[in-house]
Amino acid sequence: MLFALTPLVLLTHHVSPAFAVRYAKRANTSDVLDWVNPLIGSQAGGNVFSGATLPYGMVKAVADVDGENTGGFSTDGSHVTGFSALHDSGTGGNPSLGNFPIFPQICPSDDINSCKFPIAARATNYRNDSIVAKPGYFGVTLDNGIKADMTVSEHAALFRFDFSGSAPGNGTLDPVITLDLTDLWASRQNASISVEAGEDSESGRIKGNGTFLPSFGAGSYIAYFCLDLAGGTIKDSGVWVNDRAGTEPKNLYVTRGFNLFYLQAGGFVRFKGPVTGSISARMGISFIGTEQACQNAETEIPGPEFDFDGLVESAQDAWREKLAPISIQTGGIDNSMLISFWSAVYRTMISPQDYSGENPDWTSDEPYFDSFYCIWDMWRVQLPFLTVVDPLQQSRIVRSLLDTYQHRGWLPDCMMSTCKGWTQGGSDADNVLVDAYVKNLTGIDWKLAYEAIVNDAENEPLEWSIEGRGGLASWKRLGYIPYLDFDPNGFGTNSRSISRTLEYAYNDFNLATLAEGLGKDTYIKYLGRSSNWQNLFKPEQTSVINGTDPGFIGFFQPKYLNGTWGYQDPIACSPLASFCSLTSNPSETFESSAWEYMFFVPHDIRKIVELLGGEETFLRRLDFFHTSGLADIGNEPVFLTVYMPHFAGRPGLSAKRAHDYIPSRFNASLAGLPGNDDSGAMASFTLFSTIGLFPNPGQNVYFIIPPFFESVSITSPLTNKTATIRNVNFDKEYNNIYVQKATLNGEEYTKNWIGHEFFTEGWMLELELGSEESEWGTREEDRPPSVSTGSVEYMM
């Protein structure tokens, strides 16, 4: 099916006037990339990486700012402090990567010491209306007129600095490029640099390395760079420390410094001005060594003439190919919905990052992915989305998880910059592996997957804040993670007893699924453990909000080792109270309240319906949760709650709820995400919701609601078959959002959910819409599976 054309895409439409983002006007308006705005989520905590990258690329080039810089750049009007080539996307907490930033300047006098070396001195505003962000390309002009633009290959970036617009008649006209041995978080422990840029030569090279700290993890990592500068005749070069520089020596080794005093240091190369054209800066990166960084640059971006436009084209071709499986018939909906949609698809493939060939810790022929930041965020919707549109890549991602298990002894849970990151809840890679299993991803060693998950389920690591699970002795003996557990077997942040109990239960459910699939009788044991969540349900617990009891009874509560209940206010950690993370306000529920976790039993929602007093109360409670300010739509645990009415036979209420949040909380504005994108988690929530099929990962289930477009088709890259979900009676005002009747391949279809075969077999699902709820999908036998109703496949 064709990508439906809507005349000219006015991409500036929903963008705040200060950021009239310019897109190259193409004659070919069917180019899907015209609908991608990488700046969505570059404000208000979205923390999206908005620069140039290939799909899953290791190198990501952008301008770094001194404002909201977790992802490097932000459209927050702050100052540019440098241009760097490593970034993460959408993460929370500390700014990630941004190593070895380079910075262009014209200095006031011939004295090199008149240049601005330290971050605070060199920070310069950018012109709001100068930003050009497109897949594979990022450009910005500084207030002083210096224009920078950049593109990338897999392991190298190419920057261009054009000085021709900088204020004439001031300064020497000699362009200077500095390199700073730092990162965005100023986490450098030590670093080395050597500058090889002889006077009068036409190019110069700066090489070096640095040891840094991962932004949400343990240990340290070493990054290596190899920067080639060209485009003029070199005047001189050298190193700088704090605000002083010299042409001798040409090498420098800098440590952490005493008393936490952060030394600022790096190198510089000065060209004879004025230069005609741009100064090019080719930055090769490696996690293996400096030589490999240089080789990466030389192989991927050959010189001496760098083909900038060719790189942009290759990057854009790579992105077009990734977006190609999807086509839409819009039904005339607002362009902003399309921009939001395609930009979201784009954001699902920024991270995880393919570091194959750049693994410093072991050698292997298997793929090596990094920036699982964190799997807690990714397993629910982002990785399942890749399973639909990029299953071959998702297989490689899964293989990389298994290879990590083989070499490190544990599946990763959170991982960035080659380091182990902090575990947030359960052993969430288990969920990823089993989701891949139930969706028949190919090329994966399932026996190894089983072994890896059993390891998580049975063996407690000494340091369970970076892998595996904690409190396993209690888990096995008592069937819950106790409040203030006594756990001499391993060490971790001893909080989150409720959320860990819930997550471990789901991990065990997934293990049971895999065990059953592989014909192992251990599935009985793990299925038993998957009901452990019930041990923390306190039927008589109430919740008082603002002095009023809304009348809902039964919540998860913490329980001591001796079986006595502890207490956590059910609204604690909700948006009505204060945020709870690992370090700030650690509680028995992680980043979400007991109100929200009440719904986190993805394998047995029907039991929740029953425990909460039946369908009517369950639905009222769900509605109160979403309308009272208790739901945190900007964080992952909430996602599934939007679709839970399906389990109570009210799929129409799920559709209604999805429309309540999209586009009001997920939209095409630069501040259009309700929280950190978390790689592409917020993006994927939007995507599955708008295509009308929302996953319950680990299970072969997608909940059906009407797509937000007239129809969506997705061609499976595994089978080349095209699946289509199509609305009949679609109206772009979204009055008709209730399914009246459905057909699957022309036959009546009454279930309110469907399996992954829909995608791989290329089926056609037609939904006839109306403006009121109907009988469709309401019957007992039409609801999604739940363990306790016996409708999970292997229970039958």
Ligand X SMILES: *[C@@H]1O[C@H](CO)[C@@H](O)[C@H](O)[C@H]1NC(C)=O
- 144 or 740: whose CB is closer to ligand X? 144
- The neighbouring-strand residues paired with 161 are 148, 279
Taking CB under 6 A as the binding criterion, the range among 24-32, 110-118, 507-515, 533-541 that sits at the site for ligand X is 24-32
Decide if residue 627 touches ligand X (CB under 6 A). no
- Rounded Cα distance between 618 and 627, Å, is 14
Contact 603, 700 (CB under 8 A): no
- 286 or 455: whose CB is closer to ligand X? 286
Decide if residue 442 touches ligand X (CB under 6 A). no
Report the residue from 66, 76, 615, 731 that binds ligand X according to the rule CB under 6 A.
Answer: 76
For the residues of 158-188, what is the DSSP string, one character each? EEEEE-TTSPTTSS-S-EEEEEES--TT---
Contacts to ligand X from residues 419-438, by CB under 6 A: none
Residue nearest ligand X (C-beta atom): 77
Query: With the C-alpha atoms ordered 641, 645, 651, 654, is the resulting torsion angle positive or negative?
Result: negative
Report the residue from 2, 7, 25, 169 that binds ligand X according to the rule CB under 6 A.
Answer: 169
Per-residue mark of binding to ligand X, 117-156 (x: CB under 6 A): -----------x----------------------------
Nearest residue to 135 via CA among 261, 13, 311:
311
Contact 682, 382 (CB under 8 A): no
In angstroms, what is the minimal distance from the CB of 110 to ligand X? 15
Q: Identify the helix (H) or strand (E) that includes residue 655.
A: helix 651-661
In angstroms, what is the minimal distance from the CB of 57 to ligand X? 20
Taking CB under 6 A as the binding criterion, the range among 162-170, 198-206, 454-462, 585-593 that sits at the site for ligand X is 162-170
- Rounded Cα distance between 62 and 85, Å, is 7
- 224 or 405: whose CB is closer to ligand X? 224
Question: Counting Cβ atoms within 10 Å, is residue 194 exposed (0-12), middle (13-18) or buried (19+)?
Answer: middle
- 128 or 581: whose CB is closer to ligand X? 128
- Rounded Cα distance between 615 and 404, Å, is 44
- Rounded Cα distance between 501 and 626, Å, is 24
Contacts to ligand X from residues 593-622, by CB under 6 A: none
- Rounded Cα distance between 566 and 586, Å, is 15
For the residues of 61-94, what is the DSSP string, one character each? EEEEESSS-TTS--SSS-EEEEEES----S--SS
Decide if residue 564 touches ligand X (CB under 6 A). yes
- Rounded Cα distance between 191 and 186, Å, is 12
Q: Tell me how far CA of residue 196 lies from CA of 34, 193, 247, 305, 620, in angstroms.
A: 41, 10, 11, 19, 70
- The neighbouring-strand residues paired with 158 are 151, 282
Taking CB under 6 A as the binding criterion, the range among 1-9, 153-161, 446-454, 669-677 that sits at the site for ligand X is 669-677
In angstroms, what is the minimal distance from the CB of 143 to ligand X? 9
In angstroms, what is the minimal distance from the CB of 443 to ligand X? 14
In angstroms, what is the minimal distance from the CB of 321 to ligand X? 10
Contact 566, 552 (CB under 8 A): no
In angstroms, what is the minimal distance from the CB of 188 to ligand X? 9
Taking CB under 6 A as the binding criterion, the range among 404-412, 490-498, 731-739, 750-758 that sits at the site for ligand X is 750-758
Instruction: Number of residues interacting with ligand X: please give it, by CB under 6 A.
Output: 45
Per-residue mark of binding to ligand X, 520-559 (x: CB under 6 A): -------------------------xx-------------
What lies within 8 Å, CB to CB, of 477 at 6+ separation is none
Contacts to ligand X from residues 177-236, by CB under 6 A: 189-190, 192, 194, 209, 211, 220, 222
In angstroms, what is the minimal distance from the CB of 277 to ligand X? 23
Report the residue from 10, 167, 186, 795 that binds ligand X according to the rule CB under 6 A.
Answer: 167
Instruction: Give the Cβ contact number of residue 716 at 10 Å.
Output: 19
- 189 or 242: whose CB is closer to ligand X? 189
- Rounded Cα distance between 279 and 271, Å, is 9
In angstroms, what is the minimal distance from the CB of 32 to ligand X? 7
- Rounded Cα distance between 495 and 399, Å, is 31
For 211-223, b/e burial (b = at least 16 CB within 10 A) is bbbbbbbeebbbb
Question: Counting Cβ atoms within 10 Å, is residue 210 exposed (0-12), middle (13-18) or buried (19+)?
Answer: buried
Structure tokens at 115: 């240049």
Q: Tell me how far CA of residue 105 lies from CA of 61, 67, 122, 189, 761, in angstroms.
A: 19, 20, 8, 27, 57
Taking CB under 6 A as the binding criterion, the range among 263-271, 514-522, 551-559, 560-568 that sits at the site for ligand X is 560-568
In angstroms, what is the minimal distance from the CB of 31 to ligand X? 5
- 202 or 317: whose CB is closer to ligand X? 317
Contacts to ligand X from residues 679-738, by CB under 6 A: 700, 719-720
In angstroms, what is the minimal distance from the CB of 231 to ligand X? 24
In angstroms, what is the minimal distance from the CB of 693 to ligand X? 13
In angstroms, what is the minimal distance from the CB of 200 to ligand X? 25
| Residue recorded with tokens 């099929």 | 693
Question: Counting Cβ atoms within 10 Å, is residue 720 exposed (0-12), middle (13-18) or buried (19+)?
Answer: exposed
- Rounded Cα distance between 3 and 1, Å, is 7
Report the residue from 8, 13, 20, 30 that binds ligand X according to the rule CB under 6 A.
Answer: 30
Taking CB under 6 A as the binding criterion, the range among 415-423, 463-471, 661-669, 778-786 that sits at the site for ligand X is 661-669
Per-residue mark of binding to ligand X, 277-306 (x: CB under 6 A): ------------------------------
- 313 or 610: whose CB is closer to ligand X? 313
70: left (phi over 0), alpha (psi -120 to 50) or beta: alpha
Structure tokens at 656: 């209604």
For the residues of 379-414, what is the DSSP string, one character each? TTTHHHHHHHH-HHHHHHHHHHHHHHHHHHSS--SS
In angstroms, what is the minimal distance from the CB of 150 to ligand X? 21
- 672 or 785: whose CB is closer to ligand X? 672
- 583 or 720: whose CB is closer to ligand X? 720
In angstroms, what is the minimal distance from the CB of 768 to ligand X? 26
Structure tokens at 590: 């992680």
Report the residue from 407, 520, 525, 665 that binds ligand X according to the rule CB under 6 A.
Answer: 665
In angstroms, what is the minimal distance from the CB of 78 to ligand X? 8
- 507 or 543: whose CB is closer to ligand X? 543
Decide if residue 29 touches ligand X (CB under 6 A). no
- 459 or 734: whose CB is closer to ligand X? 734
In angstroms, what is the minimal distance from the CB of 220 to ligand X? 5
In angstroms, what is the minimal distance from the CB of 75 to ligand X? 6
Decide if residue 756 touches ligand X (CB under 6 A). yes
Q: Tell me how far CA of residue 116 lies from CA of 130, 164, 169, 206, 696, in angstroms.
A: 23, 19, 19, 19, 53
Report the residue from 440, 489, 617, 743 that binds ligand X according to the rule CB under 6 A.
Answer: 440
- 470 or 672: whose CB is closer to ligand X? 672
Report the residue from 362, 486, 560, 794 that binds ligand X according to the rule CB under 6 A.
Answer: 560
- 220 or 791: whose CB is closer to ligand X? 220
678: left (phi over 0), alpha (psi -120 to 50) or beta: left
Q: What are phi and psi of 638, to 5 degrees?
A: -80, -25
Binding region for ligand X (CB under 6 A): 18, 28, 30-31, 76-77, 128, 167, 169-170, 189-190, 192, 194, 209, 211, 220, 222, 320, 439-440, 545-546, 560, 562, 564, 576, 628-629, 663-665, 667, 669, 671-674, 700, 719-720, 755-757, 760
